[in-house]
Amino acid sequence: MTNASASSLDPDAYISAYSEASEGGAKLGPLYILKLVAAQGQKLLLYGKYKEYCGAFLASSEPMQALCQFLGEQDAAKHCALEVENRMLASLRCFLPASCPF
């Protein structure tokens, strides 16, 4: 197993690092794959493609199949739900006043 990280938190950097590693035959760990799915989803959210965003976290998508192999389907679903919840909360914080306790 190989440790790999993208050079930044930019979704395109994660996706391109994954592509480069995959083409080189490297196997990436579950945390990187989860961040890859989140990065791909973030790009979809930017363009208002909400249905496709939800689809990125389905077990049928290629990165999610790999994540399910590492963690099992139930644990992968739990991690994805937490990731989506965190992103939603982060987005909501942008709209809330600074005095809000969230």
Q: What is the pLDDT of residue 8?
A: 52
Give the gyration radius of the chain's Cα atoms.
Answer: 15
Residue 88: inside a domain, yes or no?
yes
What pLDDT does residue 102 have?
56
In this structure, how many other beta carbons lie within 10 angstroms of the beta carbon of residue 53? 20
In a domain, 82, yes or no: yes
pLDDT at 3 over 60: no
Tell me, yes or no, whether 80 lies in a domain: yes
- Per the structure, the complete domain to which residue 35 belongs is given by 11-93
pLDDT tens-digit readout, 15-71: 787 778 778 777 777 777 777 777 877 788 778 887 887 777 777 777 778 788 888
